Amino acid sequence: MKRVYNFSAGPAVLPEAVLQQAANEMLSYGNSGMSVMEMSHRSKEFQSIIDQAEADLRTLLAIPENYKVLFLQGGATLQFSMVPLNLFQNKEVDFIHTGAWTEKAMEEASRYGKVNVIASSEDRSFTYIPNLDELSFSKDADYVHICQNNTIYGTRFTSLPDTKGKILVSDMSSNILSEPIDVEKFGLIFAGAQKNIGPAGTTIVIIRDDLITKNYLEHTPLMLQYKLHADKGSMYNTPPTYGIYICGLVFKHLLATGGIPAMYERNLKKAALLYDYLDSSNLFHGTVQKADRSLMNVTFKTDSEDLDKQFVTLAKEKGLVNLKGHRSVGGMRASIYNAMPYEGVMALVEFMKEFEREHLS
C-alpha cells in the first residue's frame, strides 16, 4: 500500500525512517528478544530508552540544567488542570486568549481560581494574535498562559510577550520542535506528543526547578503533582513506554538531520510554498492575518462551502488526506508538521492549482 500525504492536525504524520526503524525493532528491541511494548518499565533497557530520549530532547532544545523534563500522560488537556493545581499561589492567572485551546485551559483554571483575559482575538474569530506590546498584567497573577501555535485557527506567536518577570506558561502542542525557542523565557512548556513529536499518549512537560514545589493546591491528586513525577523520574507509575520510545526515535532523527535550525529552515520553506500560492490564487485564500500565520497549520478556504467539500474529497482521491478544516471553523487546514516532506506540500499546491484551473474557467 502506497503511503499518502497525511495533513492531519493530530495524531499526525511521523518520519518514515522512524516508522521503519520501529518496524525493524518490533519483534526484538536490540538483543532483548521482545518488543519495547512488552518490556518492564523498570528494566535496564527501558531506563536507557527514557534517559536517551530525555538527553536528546535536552540537546535539541538546549534545555538548561535547572529545568526538568517530564514524560506524562493525559494529553495537553490534563495540563490545563495540572498547571493551575501546581502553580496557583494567589490563585489568579492571566491569559492571552487565542481560541479553543486557551478557552479550554481557562475553563479548567477557573475551577481553582480567578482567570483574567488580558488580551483576546475573539473579536475577529481568532484569526490573529493580539498586540503583545500593550499588555497589562494583573498584580496577583501567578503566571501568564499562552498557546503559542493555535492548531485550529492556524495562528502563531512570532514573538513572546514581555511578562515583566511573571512566569510564562506555553502550550506548544503543535509547534514544539518546529522552530528554535529559548527555554529560559518560559517557566513551563507543555505539549501533547501527537502533533509534532510522536504517538498520542505521551505528554511532555519542561518545567523550571523552582516551580516544582509542594505548594500545589490541597487535594491535588498525587498523579497531578509535578513534584512527584520529577522525584520519580517520570516513573511513579507505568509511563507510556512505547510512546516514549517513538518520541526518542523522532528526537534522534531530528538530531541526525540537522536539529531544530535545519528543521526550522525546512518548515519556513514548506509554509512559504503554500502561503505564496494562497496569496496568488484567485480561488483559495488564507484565513489568518499574514503576520500571524502558523508554520504548522495552514488554514484556507474558497468562497463556497460546496467547493471546499469537493476539494477535500478530490484531494483524498489523489492521496492528499485529512485536509478538512476543524469542525468549528470549516474550510480547509493543511497541517504541515516537521514530518511532512516538502514534496507533500508541492503535491498539495500542484493539486490546488489544477483544482483552481478547473473551477475558475
Ligand X SMILES: *Cc1c(COP(=O)(O)O)cnc(C)c1O
- Taking the CA atoms of residue 194, residue 160, residue 57 and residue 248 in that order, the dihedral angle to the nearest 10 degrees is 10
> Is residue 151 part of the contact set for ligand X (CB under 6 A)?
yes
Which residue number, 202 or 281, has a Cβ lying nearer to ligand X? Answer: 202
Which residues 6+ apart lie within 8 Å of 194 measured at CB?
10, 11, 12, 200, 201
Cβ nearer to ligand X, comparing 150 with 281: 150
Residue 118 contacts ligand X per CB under 6 A: no
C-alpha cell at 195: 502533533
Q: Determine contact, residues 320/298, Cβ cutoff 8 Å.
A: no
Separation between Cα atoms, residue 136 and residue 113, nearest integer Å? 19
Residues within window 60-79 making contact with ligand X, judged by CB under 6 A: 75-77
Supply 297's cell numbers: 497549520
Q: Is 23 helix (H, G, I), strand (E, B) or coil?
A: helix
Choice from 174, 281, 294, 299 touching ligand X (CB under 6 A): 174
Contact between 101 and ligand X by CB under 6 A: the answer reads yes
Q: How many residues bind ligand X (CB under 6 A)?
A: 12
* 21 vs 110: CA distance, rounded Å: 44
Q: Of 195, 270, 301, 324, which one is the catalytic site residue?
A: 195
In the annotation, is 195 catalytic?
yes
Catalytic annotation, pick one of 101, 292, 301, 324: 101
According to CB under 6 A, which one of 10, 130, 239, 325 is a site residue for ligand X? 10
**CA-based radius of gyration for the chain:** 21
Nearest to 89 by CA among 195, 3, 167: 167
Active site residue 171: yes
Which of 134, 133, 174, 137 is closest to 152 using CA atoms? 174
Q: Which of 6, 86, 121, 173 binds ligand X (CB under 6 A)?
A: 173
Residue with Cβ nearer ligand X (39 or 323): 323
Q: In the complex, what is the shortest distance from the CB of residue 255 to ligand X, in angstroms, rounded to a whole number?
A: 24
Instruction: Identify whether 232 is a catalytic site residue.
Output: no
Separation between Cα atoms, residue 45 and residue 305, nearest integer Å: 52
Cα maximum dimension of the chain = 66
Query: Strand 188-192 to strand 203-208: parallel, antiparallel, or no bridges (unpaired)?
Result: antiparallel
Cell of 31: 538483543
Name which of 8 and 302 has its Cβ closer to ligand X.
8
Catalytic residue among 56, 94, 171, 308: 171
Q: Whole-number minimum distance, CB 147 to ligand X, in Å?
A: 5
> Considering only residues 183-212, where is the footprint of ligand X by CB under 6 A?
192, 195
Amino acid letter, 150? N
> Residue of minimal CB distance from ligand X?
75
Taking the least distance from each CB to ligand X, the nearer of 45 and 103 is: 103
DSSP letter for 224, please.
Answer: G
Q: Select 6 or 151, whichever has its Cβ closest to ligand X.
A: 151
Q: What SS3 class is residue 58? A: helix
Nearest-approach distance from CB 161 to ligand X, in angstroms: 17
* Angle subtended at Cα 101 by Cα 80 and Cα 248, rounded to the nearest 5 degrees: 70
Smallest separation, CB 10 to ligand X (Å) = 5
Nearer CB in complex with ligand X: 57/147: 147
**In whole angstroms, how close is the CB of 27 to ligand X at the nearest point?**
29
Q: Is 145 in the site for ligand X (CB under 6 A)?
A: no
Site for ligand X contains 335 (CB under 6 A)? no
The residue ranges that bind ligand X (CB under 6 A) are 10, 75-77, 101, 147, 151, 171, 173-174, 192, 195
Active site residues: 101, 171, 195
